[in-house]
Every structure is written in structure tokens, then in C-alpha cells.
């Protein structure tokens, strides 16, 4: 979303991607649902480019309608289920149509800086090492790998906090959804607890998102305590995630109504990671600010997803619901790393406390924040009238009023 927004606003954009397709957790992680577009009372808080993604998916028959989903916690949330494979096509089209240059199958090597400016990023490709000299760097790696290599500062976990666990999504089917959906919520919760107590489910949940093209569903019921920035630990988590998925699929087949004919059909390309590094930004967004909710003059996105902290160990979670019409804002300053003048962070690596990140990490909000960052980057690189200045860009010099006006003009929700 950042790349598309920047290119549509006139910037020359190179999008560096480690896989042969785009999308992160939405495709490689196979999360298969975009949730929390509105408050519990129905007020829309995410739109803009995220809406366009869903519209394009819908045109291809690859997304369901917005629907209300009641979680095991009792919280009502709206979601759109979609086909991850088709999303790859949609993102391809949006990027190419916008004029973005994608560089796929590229691995980050290092980043060089001069003072507070990021000067060059080197990536390894099939053709060798490519050096890129960005005027603005947007780090959308999730783990904030580029800014880590540049020497940025990061927020630490506080006493008692642990990184949220990762999940290996898996596809299972066919499912008789008539029988599956007929199970009362309390009985489904009891089946989930039973599977967890028997050691067949890693978390006490049977949460899934349906595939629009079949009688299959993507299940989000594994739990992997891992620091995904540790390469050895990440590899172990991938292996354990597939083992957990296999056990869970066996439990579905044996014990859950509607699943007797099903089998495990696919794993996510990678484990879905909820939390690793969080940048030290000009503003650290807190849970208290989300709950108030605080109003920010530099708000560039909004959200309504509750504080949802999955325990790294055990089957539980800490869930703090919001009011029926409660929404919060994300300030532009939380995207700006304190150590640099020409960089922005988006996705789960923005400047937020552990508890605040537990709310704003979801994909709908990440798309909104990405759109804002791309628009801001384009503004930061624009020449001043009558100037031929191609010198250092300064993301802090972006006029906030102009940024907010442009985002609203492009359909984004800021409150």
C-alpha cells in the first residue's frame, strides 16, 4: 500500500520483496481475512486503498461480503474473507498499474548512512548485488530489518511482557459448513478446550476463514513462541508450526462436526508473525491513548480493533474490548524513527508499546498506515516550486495538513 500510494502521488518507487509475490502475512502468511473495518456499532474507520483491494478481489470472485463475526471472547468484529492466492494477482495489478517497479526475489544485505540520512540499501538478487539510493526509505519488512541494519533505535519489552506468538496457518477441507456453523458457540468453545487439554490444539480456539472458491477454510489455531528475528529459532518455529497444524487437522477430522471428510491441504508459505521489533519513533503510541481515545493533530489512520494479546505460552489471550462506537487514531510521528530524517516504518514495526501494538498490528490498519506513509514519502520528495533541489528529503518537513487532506481525498478515514 505504501508503494502504490507513493507512486500514484508521483514518486518513483522501487518495491523490494524477498518472495516472488507481494502481500506479507496476507499472502505468504495466508491469514485469509481482513478484519475490523469498523467500530462495533458500525462506524467505518478503515477505507482508502484497503477498500480498493477488497473491491478488486470481489470482482474476481475471491472475497466474501463484509460480515459480522463473533469471537470466542464475545467481541463482535466485521471481516472480509478472501483467497490469498488471488490476492497475489490483485497486488501485482495494483503495483504495476501505479507505476511501481517491483524487485522480487531480493534479499536485504546492508544499509549505509551518513549522519541522519539513509544513503544506500544493498540487496542480493539473482543477477547479483543491487545498490539503491533512496531519497526516502519506507521499511515495511515487519521485522524492521532495514532500519535495524541502519542503526535505528528500538523499544524494549517491559517487565512481564513477552513477544506475541506466531501462527502457522493451514488450509483444511472439505468442510460441511451447514453442520460446522450449526454448532452452538458454547459447544464449539468446549470442543476447542477439549482439543487443547488433549494436546492436539496449541490454543483453545477453532478460528477459521473460509476459502471463497471451495468448501475449505484457513485455520488460525497454532501457537509458536518465537523471536522471529532469530534465524535458528524461526526455522524451528516453521517446523513446529507444521507439526501443530497436522495435529490440529487430525483433531478437526475426528472431533468437530462437519470436518469428518476433511484433510490438511496446505500450509502457509511462512509462519504468521505478530510481533518482533518496534521502532523508537518521535511518538510512542500507548494503550492508554487508544483507550482514551487520544486525538492527534497528525493522525494519519484510524482503527477499532481491540487490544488482543496472545499469550506466548498456554492457550489463553488477554482481550480488552472497546465501546460500540470507540475508534482510535495513529499519529504520523509514530512512523518516524528518531534516528533518521528520511525514513518511515510501517506495519507491525511502528512506534508503539507492546499493548498498543496488540491492537494496531492487524492488516486493515496496516494497509491504512501504509497508504499514509507512501503519501507522506511522495510529499517529502517533491520539489519546491521553482526549485531543482534533489537533495536530502526530510519526512518531518511534510506539511501535516496537506498530508491529511490528500489522504481524505483518497478515501482514507482519519478518525
> In the chain, which stretches have pLDDT less than 50?
none
164 sits in which H/E element: none
User: pLDDT digits over 219-243, tens only?
Assistant: 999 999 999 999 999 999 999 999 9
297-319 pLDDT per residue, tens: 999 999 999 998 887 776 667 77
CA 209 to chain centre: 16
How high is the pLDDT of residue 319? 76
Domain with CATH 3.50.50.60 in the chain: 2-25+89-159+280-384+392-409
DSSP 59-87: HTT-B---EEEE-TTS-EEEEEEB-HHHH
DSSP per position, 286-325: -HHHHHTT---TTEEEEE-PPEEEE-SSSS-EEEE---TT
3-state helix vs strand vs coil in the chain, percent to 5: 35, 20, 45
Classify domain 2-25+89-159+280-384+392-409 by CATH number.
3.50.50.60
In DSSP terms, 355 is beta-bridged to none
Cα–Cα distance for residue pair 372/412, rounded to 1 Å: 9
Q: What are phi and psi of 34, to 5 degrees?
A: -100, 115
SS3 157: coil
State the cell numbers at 8.
500514484
Question: What pTM did the predictor assign?
Answer: 0.95
Question: 170 with 219: CB under 8 angstroms?
Answer: yes
Q: Do residues 327 and 302 lie in contact, with contact meaning Cβ atoms separated by under 8 Å?
A: yes
Phi, psi of 239 (to 5 degrees): -65, -45
The pLDDT of residue 340 is 98
Burial of 292: CB neighbours in 10 Å, binned 0-12, 13-18, 19+: exposed
- Where residue 230 falls (left for φ over 0; alpha for ψ -120 to 50; beta otherwise) is beta
30 contacts 171 by C-beta, under 8 angstroms: yes
Cell of 250: 487430525
Report the DSSP pairing between strands 14-16 and 101-103: parallel
Q: DSSP state, 258? A: T
Residues carrying CATH 3.30.70, the chain: 165-273
In CATH, what number does 165-273 get?
3.30.70
Q: What is the pLDDT of residue 390?
A: 67
Sheet (strand 128-132) strand order: 107-114, 117-125, 128-132
Length of the chain equals 415
How many CB atoms within 10 Å of residue 125? 13
pLDDT of residue 7: 98
Amino acid at each position: 500500500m505504501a508503494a502504490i500510494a507513493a507512486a500514484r502521488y508521483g514518486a518513483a518507487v522501487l518495491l523490494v520483496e524477498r518472495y516472488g509475490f507481494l502481500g506479507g502475512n496476507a499472502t505468504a502468511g495466508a491469514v485469509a481475512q481482513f478484519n475490523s473495518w469498523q467500530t462495533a456499532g458500525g462506524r467505518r474507520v478503515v477505507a482508502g486503498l484497503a477498500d480498493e483491494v477488497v473491491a478488486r478481489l470481489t470482482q474476481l470472485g475471491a472475497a466474501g461480503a463484509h460480515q459480522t463475526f463473533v469471537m470466542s471472547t464475545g467481541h463482535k468484529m466485521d471481516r472480509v474473507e478472501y483467497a490469498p492466492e488471488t490476492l497475489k494477482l490483485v497486488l501485482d495489478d495494483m503495483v504495476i498499474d501505479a507505476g511501481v517497479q517491483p524487485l522480487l526475489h531480493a534479499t536485504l544485505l546492508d544499509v549505509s548512512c551518513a549522519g541522519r540520512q539513509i544513503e544506500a540499501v544493498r540487496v542480493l538478487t539473482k543477477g547479483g548485488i543491487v545498490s539503491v539510493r533512496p531519497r526516502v526509505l519506507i521499511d515495511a519488512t515487519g521485522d524492521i530489518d532495514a532500519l535495524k541494519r541502519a542503526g535505528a533505535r528500538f523499544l524494549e519489552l517491559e517487565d512481564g511482557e513477552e513477544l506475541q506468538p506466531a501462527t502457522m496457518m493451514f488450509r483444511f477441507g472439505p468442510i460441511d459448513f451447514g453442520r460446522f456453523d450449526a454448532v452452538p458457540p458454547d459447544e464449539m468453545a468446549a470442543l476447542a478446550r477439549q482439543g487443547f487439554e488433549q494436546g492436539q490444539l496449541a490454543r483453545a480456539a477453532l478460528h477459521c476463514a473460509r476459502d471463497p472458491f471451495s468448501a475449505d477454510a484457513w485455520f488460525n489455531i497454532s501457537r509458536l513462541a518465537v523471536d522471529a528475528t532469530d534465524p535458528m529459532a524461526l526455522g524451528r518455529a516453521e517446523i513446529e508450526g507444521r507439526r501443530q497444524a497436522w495435529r490440529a487437522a487430525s483433531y478437526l477430522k475426528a472431533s468437530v462436526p462437519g470436518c469428518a471428510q476433511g484433510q490438511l491441504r496446505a500450509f502457509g508459505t511462512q509462519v504468521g508473525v505478530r510481533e518482533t521489533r518496534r521502532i523508537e519513533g518521535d511518538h510512542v503510541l500507548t494503550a492508554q491513548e487508544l483507550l482514551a481515545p487520544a486525538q492527534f493533530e497528525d493522525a494519519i489512520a484510524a482503527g477499532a480493533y481491540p487490544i488482543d494479546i496472545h499469550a506466548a505460552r498456554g492457550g489463553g489471550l488477554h482481550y480488552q474490548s472497546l465501546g460500540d462506537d470507540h475508534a482510535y487514531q495513529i499519529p504520523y510521528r509514530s512512523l518516524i524513527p528518531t534516528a533518521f530524517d528520511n525514513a518511515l516504518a510501517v506495519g507491525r514495526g511502528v512506534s508503539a508499546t507492546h499493548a498498543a501494538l496488540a491492537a494496531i498490528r492487524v492488516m486493515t490498519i496496516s494497509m491504512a498506515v501504509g497508504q499514509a506513509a507512501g503519501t507522506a514519502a511522495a510529499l517529502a520528495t517533491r520539489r519546491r516550486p521553482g526549485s531543482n533541489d534533489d537533495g536530502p528529503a526530510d519526512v518531518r518537513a511534510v506539511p501535516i495538513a496537506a498530508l491529511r487532506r490528500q489522504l481524505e481525498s483518497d478515501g482514507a478515514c482519519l478518525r
